[in-house]
Structure 1
Amino acid sequence: MKPRTLRILLITGGLVAVSGASALVLNALNSNVAFFYTPTQVGAGEAPRNRVFRIGGLVKSGSIVREQMTVRFVVTDTAHDIPVHYTGILPDLFREGKGAVVQGRLVNGPTGHFAATEVLAKHDENYMPPEAQHALDQAHKGKAMTETTK
């Protein structure tokens, strides 16, 4: 076999191997992605059916019903409500009137309940990473300095 033919075969084999590995990685990433939807979007039918996704909003006051390890509650964005069923231990910050993000699937279409596999309680909505807070503080100081020099 000529050296040129051998080089072409090695390059072609390498490209096929890299393409196959890329396809496997992208397939794995796509199957683990859980997109976020609001209760209004779920009510409008924009959420996927038979796929895992996340919904977020406030836990409606008076909606939490506990039955041993199963908890039923309603997530709302004040425009639409989504009933949620979850079996497991809830986070300590989970409360009525506070923010929550739940991951799972819709049962019986958009009018049914949401079967959650994971519940995340949101911290204070005013929380900001320290870096972002520092940048805002610096921006306010800069603005104040330019106003005092005018």
Structure 2
Amino acid sequence: MKSLKKKRRIQVIALAVVALALSTALIGYGMRDGINFFRSPAQVVAEPPAPTETFRLGGLVEEGSLVRGQGETITFNVTDGGGTVKVAYTGVLPDLFSENQGMIGTGKLVDGVFVAHEILAKHDESYMPKEVVDALKEQGVYQEPSGS
């Protein structure tokens, strides 16, 4: 009787391992297009990705490079100090988007130009919501940011 229990236990464990491997493979297959790797301009210049690969590009918008073209297409350069990549974007830019400010874009590199389909502007790291500032002032622990 014990050998039958032992066989059944081994079968259940083997079935669980197969089910776990199958579910992991299905999750990986389902997410293959949803994972976008982040790259800096220096990495893109050093090792350009394939034109079919969607990735995120982040850096500072280069001063004097913002050009609003005919229609909704906007071009600008993104740099990180080690490399510069030209970006083309069709659409409305975020309110916080400006030169010498951080940005992250999602898109593809086509003929040396990063064609973005989404642009996110990075805000200042010292930003704090008004409610938090008010709460800290009430507690007497708020300090004005040194950069303002």
* TM-score, with length taken from structure 2: 0.70
SS of equivalent to 1:21:
helix
Measured against aligned partners, the alpha-carbon deviations of 1:19-68 in whole angstroms (never above 9, x if no partner) come to 101111133344322222211111111x5323111111111122222232
Higher mean alpha-carbon deviation, 9-18 vs 96-105, is at: 9-18
Q: 1:18 to 1:79 in 2, by over 3 A?
A: closer
Q: Which runs of 5+ in 1 are unaligned?
A: 139-150
Q: Which amino acid aligns with 1:48?
A: P
Q: Which amino acid aligns with 2:26?
A: L
- In 1, Cα distance between equivalents of 2:65 and 2:120: 17
Q: 1:8 to 1:79 in 2, by over 3 A?
A: closer
Q: Which amino acid aligns with 2:23?
A: A
CA offset at residue 78 of structure 1? Answer: 3.2
Aligned residue number for residue 48 of structure 1: 49
Identity of aligned residues (%): 44
Aligned residue number for residue 93 of structure 1: 96
Structure that is richer in helix per residue? 1
Aligned residue number for residue 33 of structure 2: 31
What is the CA RMSD across the aligned residues, in angstroms? 2.6
* TM-score, with length taken from structure 1: 0.70
Q: Which runs of 5+ in 2 are unaligned?
A: 142-148
- In 1, Cα distance between equivalents of 2:83 and 2:18: 49
Within a 5 Å distance, the mapping from 1:62-141 to structure 2 comes to 62-66=64-68, 67-108=70-111, 112-127=112-127
SS of equivalent to 1:43:
helix
- In 2, Cα distance between equivalents of 1:29 and 1:125: 31
Aligned residue number for residue 144 of structure 1: none
Measured against aligned partners, the alpha-carbon deviations of 1:67-123 in whole angstroms (never above 9, x if no partner) come to 322211111123422111111221111111211111111112xxx100111101010
- In 2, Cα distance between equivalents of 1:97 and 1:119: 15
